[in-house]
Amino acid sequence: MDWQLYREMNKHKLAIIVPYRDREKQLNIFLPHMEKFLSRPAQEQRYGGTSAVDSEKLDYDIFVVEQMDDYPFNRGMLINSCVKMLPEEYDYLVFHDIDLLPMTDSIDYRYEEKPVHLISEVEGNKTLPYFEYIGGAFKIPRHIFEKINGFSNEYWGWGFEDLDFLLRMRESHLTELEHFYDTSNLTRNKIYDYVGVIPANVKMNRKFRSLKFDGNNYVKIHNNDRITNITHGSYSVSAWFNPQLTKDDKATKLEPISIVSRAGFHTGIQIVDISDTDVQVRCMGFTEDTADSVDDNFAIEFSVQINEWSHVCFVLNDKQKKIQVYLDGVEVDGTNQKITYENSLKFYDSSYFIGSSYEKTGNFKGLISEPCWFDYALNEQEVNLLYEKNPSEHSWTHFYDEPCMYFPFDQLYNNFVFDSSFTHSNGKIYCLENTEDLLVEQETILGTEIELPKRLNGKFKSLTKDKMKNIKQNMKWINIDYFEDPDIQENYLFFNELVKDLKILSVEDGLSNLTFNLLDETEYKNAKFMKVAL
């Protein structure tokens, strides 16, 4: 055994910090269990072995910090309070829930240079409640904790202080994190489904060819008998696009910039507003007015980022009189939007456009790839195929039917782009001043990148019945307006609507502006006990 290595590793001192309130029964189980666990032969061998001198074993103390006031429990603020009172000799920390007991010797309490989540499994639950969960037992060097200003003090009651803390680690770039990719893409929707994240360890690359639009050129597909009825019943429209617009490029609901459109009332995928970082996209269709019903039109709006690739599929089911929109393969929430209709669909005999609403009107600036139209409502599997794979990889074999128009933008001839569908409804590029770099090879990464600290293969036992199940349920239903716990709801709204989108700098709140009162400091069994009022 390399005792020199152990001496090097064990020159550090650990503070195990346990936020606490009204859990005496669990406290009296937790404290002796931790002492016994860290004295197990396998643990002692890791920290120095029975043949090493006592100073070479794990040097640690347990600090139980109890909230004594009548305010809702504030886990982050309790941890901050404890760290503020710690002597400088404690150079790394483990934040520990009092109802979680370490069970396997793979759980390592030694010092590490990077933050580590110690939990991968809780008895009775093979998986954690959600992928970005870093609660329960978390290890971090003190200097990193202090540089990111600790936890936020703003989360009263249950939840979201750990997600705020995770965001601080990501934004600080002070430590190396592991990279995963959320292939569900739920992070692109306004309502983030923490439980629904589907992580992948490898990047999924998507290749395609695109046509460049400069705000003047556009593609017109003249109407013909083979395509005239596409929008008169169930249909679907799909396209990849990368908007390269600024706020000077005006777009409004009455005068939109179109990605794909059928002229007249501009049924299709449009941009109706532009900010510094995002564009507001609208998928819209129109119906015929009747004596009893006018303005029965329908639309779904959502935002996508400027200078990034997005895939949108607009699906209309005329039998159900309903529309659905998919952003990067995931259905956009249509709550509080007009997604149903009653009247007959608007009759058109007009042309189709790519990169404009009409001739020289509503011109797009950026890149568009793989626009296609179907004369039926695509199902979710078909939408995902359009998103994940270039049509050359599947040749429409897994679709109910081929598209009525599809432009792969693989070649250009005399200002014509070719429709490779069975209708051969080729399009002509107008207002084209420069053909250089007009067709561009593109590649993008599917999925949203998620950064997480290292996670050990550690199994814990919970003293609270259904702890993981309840956390998962809270995170799954948190976005519901009538959620029964107002503190959780407030924490959710604060984090998701302000902190997560960096509308406020949460990191300014934490250790630096912490105030608390230390009421008492005693020793209890094998722990140092601190009683504080927040």
What is the residue-level pLDDT of the chain in tens, covering all 534 positions? 444 554 455 589 999 999 999 999 999 999 999 999 998 877 777 666 544 444 457 899 999 999 999 999 999 999 999 999 999 999 999 999 999 999 999 999 999 999 999 999 998 888 899 999 999 999 999 999 999 999 999 999 988 999 999 999 998 888 889 998 887 766 555 567 788 888 888 888 889 899 999 999 999 999 999 999 999 999 999 999 999 999 899 899 999 999 999 988 779 999 999 999 899 999 999 998 887 767 789 999 999 999 999 999 999 999 999 999 999 888 888 888 999 999 999 898 999 999 999 998 899 999 999 999 999 999 999 999 999 888 877 789 899 999 999 999 988 888 999 999 999 999 999 998 777 779 989 888 887 889 999 999 999 999 999 999 999 988 887 766 556 778 888 888 888 888 877 666 667 899 999 999 999 999 989 999 999 999
pLDDT of residue 437: 79
Q: Are 299 and 282 in contact, with CB atoms under 8 Å apart?
A: yes
- The domain limits of the chain are 10-197+453-533, 208-442
User: What fold characterizes domain 10-197+453-533?
Assistant: Spore Coat Polysaccharide Biosynthesis Protein SpsA; Chain A (3.90.550)
User: What fold characterizes domain 208-442?
Assistant: Jelly Rolls (2.60.120)
**3-state SS assignment for residue 163:** helix
End-to-end CA distance of the chain: 48
pLDDT of residue 495: 87
Strands 405-406 and 439-446: unpaired
CB-based contacts of 337: which residues, under 8 Å, 6+ apart? Answer: 299, 300, 301
Q: How far are the Cα atoms of 200, 467, 473, 488 from residue 483, in angstroms, in the given order?
A: 31, 18, 11, 8
Partners of 133 in the beta sheet? none
Count, in order, helices (H) and strands (E) of the chain.
Answer: 10, 31
Partners of 372 in the beta sheet? 238, 406
Backbone angles phi, psi at 433, to 5 degrees: -100, -25
